[in-house]
Amino acid sequence: MCTDCGCGDVNLVPLELQTRILAHNDGTAAHNRAHFRERGIFTVNLMGSPGSGKTAVLEATARAFDGGAKLAAIAGDLATENDAMRLVRAGIRSRAIKTGQACHLDAEMVHHELHLLDLKGVEYLFIENVGNLVCPAVYDLGQDVNVVALSVTEGEDKPLKYPTMFAKADVVLLTKTDLLPHLNVDVQIIYHALARVMPNPVVIPLAARQPGGVDGWIAWLTQRRSAPEQLAS
Amino acid sequence: MHEYSIVQSLVDSVAAAVGSREASVHEVHVAIGEMSGVDCGLLTTAYDVFRAGTLCEHASLTIERIPARWHCPRCDATIARGAFLRCIECNEPAQLASGDEIVLQRIELEVA
Ligand SMILES: Nc1nc2c(ncn2[C@@H]2O[C@H](COP(=O)(O)OP(=O)(O)OP(=O)(O)O)[C@@H](O)[C@H]2O)c(=O)[nH]1
Ligand SMILES: [Mg+2]
Ligand SMILES: [Zn+2]
Ligand SMILES: [Zn+2]
Ligand SMILES: [Zn+2]
């Protein structure tokens, strides 16, 4: 009996659930992953701050892969299709996702685009996430690896300020290293910060427009695609 | 701010759990890990804005914050906060034992 108003018996019944709130996204991500496995496509979720050099890395990756015929990309952006257009010019078949208000891509958005992409002959799919160091880390897209672009101009302590994203990274691309001679940046401090947030830090220095500037990244990528590690997770 | 989309998923999860029961939702309990990428303050704000007109309209939200705990997968030693994420004894990379939860723990239903 409700003692306040005498409205009758109100029972409170607890219902134990313990369900992941993003279970629906996880299910769609698993579906995407099955698509990629079936087609032998190695998928990269490329994240990082706005302007950290994500699109520039992909342009350089296309050059390193003989014009990008075996590459595809999905580029997320709040408001423009500029990145997808840059990637198409670089030779990568690409689609844009304009997220509007959303600060991240989710598995549903990626699923929609992947069925609109011609994936014949594609070996690598790059998903350029929205420039943001927090939100994209929350949503599984079905990728094989998480890659975070961190430019040398962002400040040495960025990893400590955004630990979640770096903890989930399989590799960190330390971008714009061609600028180091002009800056007062101690790369060791960046490495130490990463070791406090990444259990197994792998850092590849990179300069997108220098000759040979992405060799380490291309080596890691091709090795990772052929390595049995990709079957884990 | 992705906390709005988290709340959307939360309300959907609650609706799925309630199903066809003749009951209203009185309280919603969630667990949010420190390393989940979800901000508890923003989640509360998003919930208060978003619950209007949903079956959570009159349900309060209780958030249990789960601190990050990194440990060694071999000897289970806890890695001190702020230390390098590698076991000093075994040299193994640490694993997150807890702290990445985005979980709907339980709901309380009012049944007449
Ligand atoms: N010096 C130098 N500049 C670079 C390098 N890579 C990118 N930039 C510059 O950094 C700026 C941002 O590069 P983008 O590739 O557009 O960065 P992004 O991360 O894709 O940016 P958003 O998608 O808008 O978040 C541009 O002005 C680039 O020319 C690099 O290796 N060296
Ligand atoms: Mg870009
Ligand atoms: Zn499908
Ligand atoms: Zn967000
Ligand atoms: Zn140990």
Looking at residue A177, the DSSP 8-state letter turns out to be G
The C-alpha atoms of residue A166 and residue A159 are separated, in whole angstroms, by 6
Please list the ranges in chain A whose pLDDT falls under 50: 1-2, 230-233
Q: Please, are residues A30 and A108 in contact by the beta-carbon 8 Å criterion?
A: no
Q: Using CB atoms, which residue from B13, B37, B83 is nearest to A19?
A: B13
CA-closest candidate to residue A218, choices A202, A206, A233, A210: A206
Sorted by sequence, the CB contacts under 8 Å of residue A223 that are 6+ apart come out as none
Alpha carbons A220 and A201: distance in angstroms, whole number: 14
> How many domains would you assign to chain B?
1
Say if residue B1's pLDDT is above 90.
Answer: no
A13, A20, A21, A106: which to substitute to probe chain B, counting the most B Cβ within 10 Å? A21
Q: How many domains does chain A have?
A: 1
Write the CB contacts of A61 (distance below 8 Å, at least 6 apart in sequence): A68, A71, A126, A214, A217, A218, A221
Instruction: Note whether residue A135 is domain-resident.
Output: yes
pTM score over 0.90? yes
Report the alpha-carbon distance of residue A176 to residue B63 in Å, rounded: 41
Q: Of the candidates B37, B21, B43, B87, which has an alpha carbon nearest to the alpha carbon of residue A199?
A: B87
Q: Is the Cβ pair B106, A134 closer than 8 Å? A: no
- B86 pLDDT higher than 70: yes
Q: Is the CB of A53 under 6 A from ligand 1?
A: yes
A211 vs A38, A60, A207, B66, B81, CA distance in Å? 35, 10, 8, 47, 41
Token code pair at residue A55? 């699109």
Question: Average pLDDT in the B5-30 region?
Answer: 95
Task: Report strand pairing: B102-111 vs A11-20.
Answer: antiparallel
Q: What is the CATH number of the domain that holds A181?
A: 3.40.50.300
Any idea which residue has 């640490």 for tokens?
B94
Q: Cα distance from A203 to chain B (closest Cα, Å)?
A: 15
Q: Please spell the DSSP secondary structure of A189-233, one letter per residue.
A: HHHHHHHHH-SS--EEE--TTSTTTTHHHHHHHHHHHHSGGGG--
ipTM of the complex as predicted: 0.94
Query: pLDDT tens digits for A151-200?
Result: 999 999 999 999 999 999 999 999 999 999 999 999 999 999 999 999 99
Q: Is A217 part of the contact surface with chain B (CB cutoff 8 Å)?
A: no
Which residue matches tokens 């790059």? A126
Contacts of A133 in chain B (CB under 8 A): none
CA-based nearest residue to B48, from B58, B39, B38: B58
pLDDT at A212: 95
Q: Could you tell me the residue range of the domain that residue A90 belongs to? A: 6-232
State the residue range of the domain holding B65.
3-69+98-111
CB atoms within 10 A of CB B47: 22
> Does residue B49 form part of some domain?
yes
For residue A1, is it within any domain? no
A14 to B107: CB separation less than 8 angstroms, yes or no: yes
Q: What is the pLDDT of residue B19?
A: 94
CATH number of the domain that B17 lies in?
Answer: 3.30.2320.50
Mean pLDDT of chain B: 96
The alpha carbon dihedral of A166, A172, A176, A179 has a sign of positive
Contact between B32 and B40 (Cβ < 8 Å): yes
Q: How confident is the model at residue B112 (pLDDT cuts 50, 70, 90)?
A: confident
Report if residue A182 sits inside a domain: yes
Q: Is residue B105 part of a domain?
A: yes
